[in-house]
């Protein structure tokens, strides 16, 4: 059995982050036997990266030269637009990830994950999700002909559940927090199905990294990234993308990575020495309400490595940022406002240099959570828009 894709695809290796063991590319593995998380490294050079830009394939399929797949399928995912806002001398580049077909950036990770599971012959996938990863996996599963079981909190917004059912996923609603849901999914996995939860398996980050590739193609240089941080897929995926571009000489300096977390769910910021604000525990940031993600030390490490920092925001901060976004025509879910709230807080603390270009991925659509949005910002949206800052 071959252990690497043929020459049309890049070579890759999988390594345990805990014990350093090399893990074969086949069979499917989402965690090392020792319990450690896995890291997948694709051998990438400048020529391969340029080949992505010039590829005749469209959207995510054009990144075939840098993805750990044999045959990346045609897709409607990726190549989302950038939209710019000037905020007190800071240039903010919003990456409109919520315009992906499944309504979130998670489509990118699911594209690589589900394609890989299909390549390995699985016809069934089990994931746990707060909603968006489940939708993304169900969307890709439907496209490639795999059945998808999704474990999710019973409290998941109805719009996400309805979309999951529409896409043909089997829903398993679990009473309890996101950690409880994760444990229930692991208990349910048996032979024949691939457990593909994005907290653990190492393929997801390679889908998300394409966001960095697209941004660098369009902008060249950015100074900082504010990322919403829960399980770590955004910040670790972006770090992987920028690191590959940097190593290939296509990015002069790595952007500072800022971890934006919600009060009461800020284990990465705690790792970085920031108090948890437990008494102001967030009820709005449901997509990143994770108390103990497996990759929290990896996340803290990439923040430190890039000279970034962490910011913890409360529900009033998130509500104000949601309103600010809605006033400008960005209809996103509350979790997506977390990095915007974090930017405002960091600017107030003079932690963002004037003239900087700041990337913020707007991760998830508000269209799946209209009831929740109406509850949170509806009343204020019925009033006229706020005047511009200056
Ligand atoms: Zn290990």
Reported confidence tier of residue 190, pLDDT bands at 50, 70, 90:
confident
**Ligand 1 centroid from CA 113, angstroms:** 21
Which residues fall within 8 angstroms of residue 223, CB to CB, at 6 or more apart?
255, 256, 353, 356, 357, 358
Reported confidence tier of residue 160, pLDDT bands at 50, 70, 90:
very high
Strand, helix or coil for residue 29 = coil
**Ligand 1 centroid from CA 34, angstroms:** 4
User: Domain boundary residue among 169, 195, 221?
Assistant: 195
pLDDT one-digit tens code per residue, 237-295 = 999 999 999 999 999 999 999 999 999 999 999 999 998 888 999 999 989 999 999 99
- 79 closest CA partner among 101, 60, 92: 60
User: Do 230 and 86 share a domain, yes or no?
Assistant: yes
| Residue 9, pLDDT score | 62
- Within a domain: 1: no
| Residue 244, pLDDT score | 98
User: Domain boundary residue among 176, 195, 214?
Assistant: 195
**Ligand 1 centroid from CA 40, angstroms:** 13
| Residue 10, pLDDT score | 66
- Within a domain: 223: yes
**Ligand 1 centroid from CA 13, angstroms:** 14
| Residue 146, pLDDT score | 97
- Within a domain: 388: no
| Residue 191, pLDDT score | 74
- Within a domain: 3: no
| Helix (H), strand (E) at residue 339 | helix 338-348
pLDDT one-digit tens code per residue, 301-314 = 999 999 999 999 99
Please report, rounded to a whole number, the percentage of residues in the chain having pLDDT higher than 70. 94
**Ligand 1 centroid from CA 15, angstroms:** 8
User: Do 222 and 97 share a domain, yes or no?
Assistant: yes
Greater model confidence, 381 or 156: 156
Conformational region of residue 5, where left means phi above 0, alpha means psi within -120 to 50, and beta covers everything else = beta
Reported confidence tier of residue 114, pLDDT bands at 50, 70, 90:
very high
User: Do 91 and 142 share a domain, yes or no?
Assistant: no
Give the predicted TM-score (pTM) of the model.
Answer: 0.94
User: Do 335 and 213 share a domain, yes or no?
Assistant: yes
- Within a domain: 4: no
Reported confidence tier of residue 4, pLDDT bands at 50, 70, 90:
very low
Reported confidence tier of residue 156, pLDDT bands at 50, 70, 90:
very high
User: Do 168 and 267 share a domain, yes or no?
Assistant: no
Neighbouring CB atoms inside 10 A of 250's CB total 17
User: Do 137 and 121 share a domain, yes or no?
Assistant: yes
Domain ranges, residue 146: 106-195
Task: Give the single-character DSSP code of 384.
Answer: P
Total domains, the chain: 3
User: Do 313 and 249 share a domain, yes or no?
Assistant: yes
| Residue 117, pLDDT score | 97
User: Do 232 and 347 share a domain, yes or no?
Assistant: yes
**Ligand 1 centroid from CA 200, angstroms:** 13
User: Do 94 and 146 share a domain, yes or no?
Assistant: no
Report whether pLDDT(159) > 60: yes
- Within a domain: 334: yes
User: Domain boundary residue among 195, 222, 244?
Assistant: 195
Which CATH number belongs to the domain containing residue 157 in this structure?
A: 3.40.50.1100
**Ligand 1 centroid from CA 37, angstroms:** 7
For residue 386, what are its two tokens? Answer: 């706020």
DSSP string, 71-125: SPPP-S---PPEEEEEETTEEEEEE-GGGSTTSBTHHHHHHHHHHHHHHTT--EE
User: Do 133 and 41 share a domain, yes or no?
Assistant: no
Reported confidence tier of residue 165, pLDDT bands at 50, 70, 90:
very high
| Residue 2, pLDDT score | 38
Reported confidence tier of residue 150, pLDDT bands at 50, 70, 90:
very high
**Ligand 1 centroid from CA 172, angstroms:** 30
User: Do 271 and 332 share a domain, yes or no?
Assistant: yes
Dihedral of CA atoms 173, 156, 237, 34 in degrees, nearest 10, equals -30
| Residue 276, pLDDT score | 84
**Ligand 1 centroid from CA 218, angstroms:** 38
Instruction: Name the average pLDDT for the chain.
Output: 93
**Ligand 1 centroid from CA 228, angstroms:** 28
User: Do 333 and 279 share a domain, yes or no?
Assistant: yes
**Ligand 1 centroid from CA 162, angstroms:** 38
Reported confidence tier of residue 45, pLDDT bands at 50, 70, 90:
very high
**Ligand 1 centroid from CA 16, angstroms:** 5
């Amino acid at each position: 059995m071959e252990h690497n894709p043929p020459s049309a695809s890049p070579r890759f290796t999988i390594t345990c982050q805990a014990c350093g063991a090399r893990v074969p590319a086949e069979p499917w593995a989402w965690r090392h036997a020792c319990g450690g998380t896995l890291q997948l490294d694709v051998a990438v050079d400048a020529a391969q990266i340029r080949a992505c830009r010039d590829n005749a394939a469209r959207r995510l399929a054009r990144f075939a030269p840098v993805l750990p797949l044999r045959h990346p399928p045609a897709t409607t995912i990726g190549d989302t637009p950038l939209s710019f806002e000037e905020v007190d001398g800071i240039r903010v580049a919003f990456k409109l990830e919520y315009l992906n077909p499944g309504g979130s950036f998670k489509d990118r990770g699911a594209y690589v994950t589900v394609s890989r599971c299909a390549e390995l012959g699985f016809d069934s996938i089990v994931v746990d999700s707060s909603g968006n990863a489940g939708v993304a996996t169900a969307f890709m599963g439907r496209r490639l002909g795999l059945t998808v079981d999704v474990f999710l909190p019973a409290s998941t917004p109805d719009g996400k559940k309805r979309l999951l059912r529409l896409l043909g996923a089997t829903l398993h609603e679990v009473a309890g927090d996101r950690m409880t849901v994760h444990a229930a999914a692991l208990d349910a996995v048996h032979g024949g199905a691939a457990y593909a939860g994005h907290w653990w398996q190492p393929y997801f980050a390679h889908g998300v990294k394409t966001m960095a590739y697209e941004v660098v193609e369009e902008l060249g240089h950015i100074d900082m990234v504010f990322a919403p941080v829960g399980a770590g897929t955004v910040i670790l995926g972006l770090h992987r993308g920028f690191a590959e571009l940097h190593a290939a000489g296509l990015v002069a300096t790595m952007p500072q990575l800022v971890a934006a977390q919600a009060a009461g769910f800020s284990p990465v910021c705690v790792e970085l020495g920031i108090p948890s604000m437990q008494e102001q525990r967030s009820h709005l940031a449901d997509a990143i309400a994770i108390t103990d993600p497996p990759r929290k030390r990896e996340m803290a490490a990439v923040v430190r490595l890039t000279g970034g920092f962490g910011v913890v925001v409360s529900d009033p901060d998130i509500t104000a940022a949601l309103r600010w976004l809605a006033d400008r025509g960005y209809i996103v879910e509350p979790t997506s406002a977390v990095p915007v709230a974090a930017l405002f807080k960091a600017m107030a603390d003079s932690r963002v240099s004037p003239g900087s270009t700041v990337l913020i991925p707007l991760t998830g659509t508000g269209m799946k959570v209209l009831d929740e949005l109406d509850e949170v910002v509806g009343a204020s949206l019925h009033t006229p828009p706020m005047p511009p800052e200056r």
